[in-house]
Amino acid sequence: MDLESGKRTGPTSSSVGKVKGLSGRLFRGFMSVLLFICIASTIIWMFAKVSMLWKGVEISWNGTLVVPLASSNFTSFIMNTDKDVLVNFYAPWCPHCQQFAPDYIQTAKFLENNTNIVLAAIDAWKFHQVGEKYHIRGFPTVLLFLRSKKEAPIEYAGWKRNVDNLIAFVQSHQDSSTGKGMP
């Protein structure tokens, strides 16, 4: 401010507004670019993570007592087997399914001498039409198809999926119509 004239000197209020407006726009532009970079890198990271999970992840039932099923043989196997059938509906990329697989294989070994039941598994992610038919909403899901009620399977609803609980589940639903019990 000029003391003699009482007039303001220096930048005018309109020029200050232009500077603030310009810096505000630059800041908003910078923040928009930064946000875009963060979102893009997160999407790329997530895609890479999912790709890593999917590649090379497979649950193999080869060399085990678990019968691997596909959509082409699922119905005929279930309906033509004269035993109760315990089926694990799984997705190979699912960490819970990967953790559960050894217990499921161990359950099959434990029940090896039981002539009343067979354990099977189906990749319900790959053969989604089978999963949809049985209303599979999560992985792993275990269904017990009793030989006298194969059209109405019983879902394992236990929180812990381990050998002892699976055996208890099978025993509690043993098909009483045949009079055959678990060994």
Q: How many domains does the chain have?
A: 2
Q: Which domain, by its residues, includes 39? A: 1-55
Residue 177: predicted pLDDT? 42
The answer as to whether 177 is a domain residue is no
Residue 179: per-residue pLDDT? 46
Which of the pair, 42 or 98, is modelled with greater confidence?
Answer: 98
Please compute the mean of the pLDDT values over residues 124-129 and round it to a whole number.
Answer: 95
- Amino acid (one-letter) located at 138: G
- The yes-or-no verdict on residue 151 having pLDDT over 80 is yes
Question: Is residue 180 one of the residues assigned to a domain?
Answer: no
Answer yes or no: is 182 within a domain. Answer: no
Asked whether residue 121 falls in the same domain as residue 38, the answer is: no
Residues 76 and 160 in one domain: yes
Query: Which CATH number is 161's domain given?
Result: 3.40.30.10
Whole-structure pTM value: 0.68
Residue 19 in this model has a pLDDT that exceeds 70? no
User: Does residue 98 sit in the same domain as residue 156?
Assistant: yes
Q: Is 179 inside a domain boundary?
A: no
Whether 97 and 164 share a structural domain: yes
